[in-house]
């Protein structure tokens, strides 16, 4: 791996993009993206095996939602604090430590004998996510070579790909043998620990060689506090819209297909794989497009642009449900890279804190959404949940309230 020092940020004092190195450091980006794949592949096992756990432990939808809530809220609450801490005190090997938590949680999930142990396993996996995401997002920005949108998309597409592959592997590895089949995924977590240890060595060497001339501090004039707070409120509402809707698909899509179209568990997991695969593709394109036209316009098109498709899906047959879910996954997934990059530009010099806040919001909104939607499904029906959630992307209209950062600073 390359070991030459590179700036902590990639903006000059004039605000023009300045390459952090002669080129983007692809070996580092590739390493964190691959580990993001492994991390999220392991973590996607939990929603993928909900039908198995629901049958084995005789769970209702509220308990299924509580599993998602436990995992995602633990990750949500811890991430901003970890990001803020590592902004002030860099910890090169934090990524490997985070993957160790993921490994431990996977092992616990494979052998948990009670629902309480399932909740504990979900919490440990959530702690692994809380450590992994803000620090790996920081590494991606450092190695971006100034292409912040591309680096975030490249990093995040690994996670989306892992989330898509997880249900597919669950269908062919876990489903035939049951809960204990989860133990096979410990191999992926162990591989991630090895790779992230190497990334930690690179980061440690980079920190040791860094000098004041190497470390670039953003010197954009600070935006008014009121402008920043207003933009953060709008971004939070957009994350709420995106992840509440995604919770309806990632946690309950298999149940929706089984309930409405009477498909098999394996067929429903394959449909989930198609949706998540489309989301991975959308994630990859969102960042580079944002580098060209600006993240604000990507956010606008991604969240509001998906509204016609979400309104159609509850009324479609099985074939068109699969098509519409893929289109929705592709379009809506392109927003998150743009949201993270926009927020990092909004609060320069706070990469870890910003990454922790928005990855934490993503997990938290997803967890709360899973719990709330599970309760609504118990009280009404899973089909009603999809009709209700179809209107969530209309919140994308708020994107028009986001300030144009370059114009504000000028």
pLDDT recorded at residue 407: 58
Q: Are 302 and 338 in contact (CB under 8 A)?
A: yes
**Six-digit token string for 127:** 């702690």
pLDDT recorded at residue 23: 53
**Helix, strand, coil percent values for the chain (each to nearest 5):** 80, 0, 20
Q: How far apart are CA 345 and CA 55, in angstroms?
A: 47
Residues 6 or more apart whose Cβ sits within 8 Å of residue 291: 147, 148, 149, 150
Specify the 3-state DSSP secondary structure of 369: helix
**Six-digit token string for 55:** 């049958």
Q: How far apart are CA 375 and CA 119, in angstroms?
A: 18
Q: How far apart are CA 371 and CA 377, in angstroms?
A: 10
pLDDT recorded at residue 18: 37
pLDDT recorded at residue 324: 94
Range list of H helices, 304-404: 307-312, 318-333, 335-346, 351-379, 382-389
pLDDT recorded at residue 219: 44
In terms of Cα–Cα distance, which of 299, 287, 64, 99 is closest to 193? 99
Strand partners, 17: 11
Q: How far apart are CA 84 and CA 81, in angstroms?
A: 5
Q: How far apart are CA 245 and CA 298, in angstroms?
A: 18
Specify the 3-state DSSP secondary structure of 11: strand
pLDDT recorded at residue 208: 65
**Six-digit token string for 34:** 């691959």
pLDDT recorded at residue 215: 42
Residues 6 or more apart whose Cβ sits within 8 Å of residue 134: 79, 80, 82, 83, 86, 352, 353, 355, 356, 359
pLDDT recorded at residue 311: 94
In terms of Cα–Cα distance, which of 76, 307, 350, 341 is closest to 235? 341
Digitized pLDDT (tens) for each residue of the chain, 410 residues in all:
444 333 344 333 333 333 333 355 888 888 998 999 998 888 878 877 787 888 888 888 778 878 877 887 787 788 888 888 888 888 888 899 999 999 998 888 888 888 889 899 989 988 998 888 888 888 888 887 778 888 888 888 888 778 778 877 887 888 777 778 888 888 989 999 999 999 988 888 767 665 443 444 444 456 788 888 899 999 989 988 888 888 788 778 888 898 889 888 888 878 888 887 788 788 788 878 888 888 888 888 888 889 999 999 999 999 999 999 999 989 988 888 888 888 888 887 777 788 788 877 776 777 678 778 888 888 888 889 889 999 999 999 898 888 887 655 44
Task: Report pTM.
Answer: 0.68
Q: How far apart are CA 361 and CA 186, in angstroms?
A: 27
CATH topology (fold) of 26-409 = Growth Hormone; Chain: A; (1.20.1250)
pLDDT recorded at residue 209: 63
């Amino acid at each position: 791996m390359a070991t030459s020092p590179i700036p902590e940020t990639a903006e000059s004092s004039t605000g023009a993009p300045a390459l952090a190195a002669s080129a983007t450091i692809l070996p580092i980006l590739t390493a964190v993206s691959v580990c993001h794949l492994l991390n999220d592949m392991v973590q996607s096992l939990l929603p993928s095996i909900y039908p198995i756990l629901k049958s084995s432990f005789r769970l209702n939808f509220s308990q299924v939602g509580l599993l998602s809530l436990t995992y995602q809220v633990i990750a949500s609450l811890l991430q901003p604090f970890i990001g803020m801490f590592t902004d002030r005190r860099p910890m090169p090997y934090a990524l490997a430590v985070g993957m160790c938590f993921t490994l431990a949680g996977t092992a616990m999930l494979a052998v948990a004998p009670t629902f309480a142990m399932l909740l504990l396993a979900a919490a440990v996996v959530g702690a692994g996510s809380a450590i992994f995401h803000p620090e790996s997002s920081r590494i991606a920005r450092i190695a971006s070579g100034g292409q912040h949108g591309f680096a975030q998309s490249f990093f995040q597409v690994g996670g989306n790909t892992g989330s898509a592959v997880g249900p597919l592997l669950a269908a062919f590895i876990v489903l035939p043998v049951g809960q204990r089949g989860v133990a096979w995924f410990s191999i992926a977590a162990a591989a991630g620990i090895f790779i992230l240890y190497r990334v930690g060595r690179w980061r440690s060497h980079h920190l040791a060689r860094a000098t004041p001339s190497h470390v670039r501090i953003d010197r954009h004039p600070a935006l008014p506090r009121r402008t920043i707070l207003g933009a953060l409120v709008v971004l939070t509402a957009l994350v709420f819209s995106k992840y509440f809707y995604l919770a309806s698909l990632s946690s309950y899509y298999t149940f929706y297909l089984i309930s409405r179209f009477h498909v098999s568990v394996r067929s429903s997991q394959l449909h989930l794989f198609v949706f998540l695969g489309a989301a991975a593709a959308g994630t990859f394109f969102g960042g580079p497009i944002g580098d060209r036209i600006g993240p604000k316009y990507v956010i606008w098109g991604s969240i509001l642009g998906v509204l016609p498709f979400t309104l159609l899906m509850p009324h479609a047959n099985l074939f068109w449900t699969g098509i519409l879910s893929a289109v929705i996954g592709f379009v809506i997934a392109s927003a998150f890279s743009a949201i993270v990059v926009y927020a990092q530009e909004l609060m320069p010099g706070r990469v870890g804190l910003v990454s922790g806040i928005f990855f934490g919001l993503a997990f938290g909104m997803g967890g709360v959404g899973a719990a709330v939607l599970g309760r609504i499904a118990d009280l009404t029906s899973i089909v009603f949940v999809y009709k209700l959630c179809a209107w969530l992307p209309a919140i994308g209209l708020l994107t028009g309230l986001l300030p144009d950062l370059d114009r504000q600073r000028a």
